[in-house]
Structure 1
Amino acid sequence: MKSGIPAGIVAALGLTQIVGYGTLYYSFSILAPGMARDLGQTVEQVFAVFSASLLVGGLSAPIMGGWMDRFGAATIMTFGSAVSAVALLLCAWSPSMPVFAIAIVLLEVASGMVQYQAAFATLVEVRPKMASRSITYLTLIGGFASTIFWPIAVNLSELLSWREIYVAYAGLNLLICLPLHYWILRSRKHGAVERSRIDGEAIAGALPTRVRRRGMLLVSWAFALQGFTLSAILTHMVPMLGAIGFGPAAVVIGSLFGPSQVLSRLINMTLGANLLPPMLATLSAVLIVAGVVVLGLSGTWLPGAVAFAICLGLGSGINSIAQGSLPLWLFGSSGYGAITGRMAAARLAAAAMAPFVFSVLMERFGTNVALMANACLGAIGIAAFVAVASAAKRQPGAH
């Protein structure tokens, strides 16, 4: 990594993001049918609980962001690892649907404490001037989460119950994530003087104060629409591809998503140094919508499904970078946790509705209608990002 980027912290956060997203998010759609059977519920009802939990997680995001600014993001991530493990164990033990619902809600609150929002805030705290590049490296590593954990969940579900799998996942959060987050916390305390010498004052944003409110609304709206599109597709990725007619190949096709995420971040890392964050965000939205449209039009044509997974992965990979770098570029590093917390609230609230709404659309109107409706929302998101880019370009001093 380039000089100045905290390589050890980026690597540690990358590993915890793989475990965090793999255990707390990506595995849910694969384990959901087993959960429904065990709890005597329909799959739609299980996804309704998941959607409600995403909504609560979104509402808690601004609070978490404020805590990160006040206590330090690494502190929140350390505590969040313990909460994640407790929530997973509560899910595994839950004897009834009400207890299960409480556990899933707690799981989503914990996710906001340990996933990208918190990791990006940690990197901004550690070294603000290198945060954008550090975020790119971090997302490059974290992009392997779905590639690793979708197959793991599928294979484990043939050997273990979903409850046993969640107990194992709790162990991963306790034995891997918690110690690494605590190490980052300790290293931050020991390196405070050095960081002050290297970084100096907090970096400023491209937007002047008088237009920041409008910029915040535009960016939040755009990320919310993109969050809905991605959440709907990713939650149902493997089951949806299986329902279309790809059978066992659905897992293989879905697994292309992760490497494509990594590829987009690698390309951005090597060739995208001069590509501004608003342009990155717009490009990510275009790729995601293109992938959804291709799948909706191609049906059971295998190359179409492959193109869908690749485009979705490329767009999602860039989107993860934009979520961290665009707010930093527009608004600066001061109060970064609170700013990204407010944006995450809008994005997660939209994403909360997506799994249930998309599931209902597929059940009642078919997969193609659900996909095209999703693509239309994504297209509105593209327009919002274009508006953000235009607003920033018109401001004196935008860079």
Structure 2
Amino acid sequence: MNTIKVPAGIVSALGVTQIIGYGTLYYSFSILAPGMARDLGISLEQVFAVFSVSLFIGGLSAPIIGRHMDRIGAATMMTLGSALAALTLALCAWSPSVAVFALAIVLLEVSSGMVQYQAAFATLVESSPRTASRSITYLTLIGGFASTIFWPIAATLTGYLSWREIYLVFAVLNLLVCMPLHYWIMRVGRAGSKLDATRTREVVVGALAPQDRRRGMLLVSFAFSLSGFTLAAILAHMVPMLGAIGVGGAAVVIGSLFGPAQVMSRLVNMVFGKSLSPPALAIVSAGLMVLGVLILGLSGDWLPGALAFAICLGLGSGINSIAQGSLPLYLFGSAGYGAITGRMAAARLAVGAAAPFVFAMAMENLGIATALLVNALLGTLGIAAFVAVAVSTRRAARPE
């Protein structure tokens, strides 16, 4: 049977735009936040409060963005998103007041939903549904270098430029690098559609029967939300939390293992993960993150335990990104993929936005070890939801 393969150029181009998109719109914020606070005359906590609100509003916009991706094409949405990202970065750099700054950060998160993984995965599904799961693995492998590249870039630039000038540089990257690449992908897709006009459009049929999809959607959204909470809560406090536990100066080194572990998990999955179904991948991902949190909660200031925690969390997080793209395709098929992933992203991002604050309160009132164990318990509920989804797909596949 002939299979249409996604050109390597599209995956590579999306990889470049994901590195820039996540680097400029997400990872660099924590590096630039102290400068923002000083310049605007507000506390660092207030800057991060604005960021948390923007993440929440960005999550609410995800279903709308997803529906429009299905209507006009994901690559078209990414092209528009790059333009909006550049404009809002420039608006943020210009912002004369806290109110304008807050508005710009909110718009920045909306544009993020138009250019980051949700939209990139939908672009790959539109290009070739049957090879999209494999392409998503390749893409996340490339995108995993965003923090590794942009944390040092942002930190180095702060020695020469103000945060406003850095955001202008980032605006130029989105406008002159990402937007042309997204536009090229859009043109390639339209040209392919015209060439294949006489051929029936390739589709992937979901593993869940129509009557089971509503329950499946609720379970998967619930599971990804809890896994997202587990991860977001830890990442927001990782280095200071490790320091408070008592690992001393090794906290930064231990935290730095998270990024390489993410990339390693994606590389291992790319080479050896062909036999794992997307539901199994999601279970492994959630299990690794919970295992990491449990190890840290039980081992305290034991250095090998802290190292195992960072590695397990990174491995789980790396696979989680793949599962977010491949599991919805596996369960629900390629039809309406943008709207489906948009609804799922809304729940995940909304819960994730509250996670840093909730976990900080838990650490303050319950202690770090208890807060970690409660977080692991929530993640375990997510694992159970993923297991329920896996069981339902096996039941649907079983002949009557």
Normalised by the length of structure 1, the TM-score is 0.92
For structure 1, list consecutive stretches of 5 or more residues without a partner in the other structure.
none
Matches within 5 A, 1:1-399: 4-194=5-195, 200-241=201-242, 244=245, 250-362=251-363, 366-396=367-397
Query: What do the CA deviations read for 1:89-124 (whole angstroms, capped 9, x no partner)?
Result: 222222322222111111110110000000000000
Q: 1:49 to 1:369 in 2, by over 3 A?
A: farther
Aligned CA RMSD, in angstroms, stands at: 2.3
Query: How many Å separate the matches in 2 of 1:130 and 1:277?
Result: 14
Query: How many Å separate the matches in 1 of 2:221 and 2:160?
Result: 42
SS of aligned partner of 1:206:
coil
SS of aligned partner of 2:203:
coil
Query: How many Å separate the matches in 1 of 2:69 and 2:204?
Result: 18
1:325 partner amino acid: S
Q: 1:370 to 1:130 in 2, by over 3 A?
A: same
Q: CA deviation at 1:163?
A: 2.4
Q: CA deviation at 1:182?
A: 1.0
Query: What do the CA deviations read for 1:24-64 (whole angstroms, capped 9, x no partner)?
Result: 11222233233233323233222221111111111111100
Q: Percent identity?
A: 71
Structure 1 stretch 266-275 or stretch 2-11: which is displaced more? 2-11
Query: What do the CA deviations read for 1:181-232 (whole angstroms, capped 9, x no partner)?
Result: 1111111111214556787431100000011100000001001111122222
Structure 1 stretch 343-352 or stretch 293-302: which is displaced more? 293-302
Q: 1:266 to 1:25 in 2, by over 3 A?
A: same
Query: How many Å separate the matches in 1 of 2:193 and 2:369?
Result: 53
Aligned pair count? 397
Q: 1:240 to 1:150 in 2, by over 3 A?
A: farther
Q: 1:30 to 1:301 in 2, by over 3 A?
A: farther
Query: What do the CA deviations read for 1:345-384 (whole angstroms, capped 9, x no partner)?
Result: 1111111112332344445555444433322221211111
SS of aligned partner of 1:17:
helix
Cα pair 1:292 1:308 within 8 Å, conserved: yes
Q: CA deviation at 1:299?
A: 4.1
Q: CA deviation at 1:86?
A: 1.6
Query: How many Å separate the matches in 1 of 2:361 and 2:278?
Result: 35
Cα pair 1:235 1:355 within 8 Å, conserved: yes
Q: CA deviation at 1:313?
A: 1.5
Q: 1:194 to 1:230 in 2, by over 3 A?
A: farther
Cα pair 2:4 2:128 within 8 Å, conserved: no
Query: How many Å separate the matches in 2 of 1:376 and 1:206?
Result: 29
Cα pair 2:6 2:127 within 8 Å, conserved: no
1:255 partner amino acid: S
Structure 1 stretch 337-346 or stretch 29-38: which is displaced more? 29-38
Structure 1 stretch 324-333 or stretch 353-362: which is displaced more? 353-362
Q: CA deviation at 1:72?
A: 0.3
Query: How many Å separate the matches in 1 of 2:32 and 2:364?
Result: 19
Normalised by the length of structure 2, the TM-score is 0.92
Q: CA deviation at 1:305?
A: 3.1
For structure 2, list consecutive stretches of 5 or more residues without a partner in the other structure.
none
Q: CA deviation at 1:175?
A: 2.2
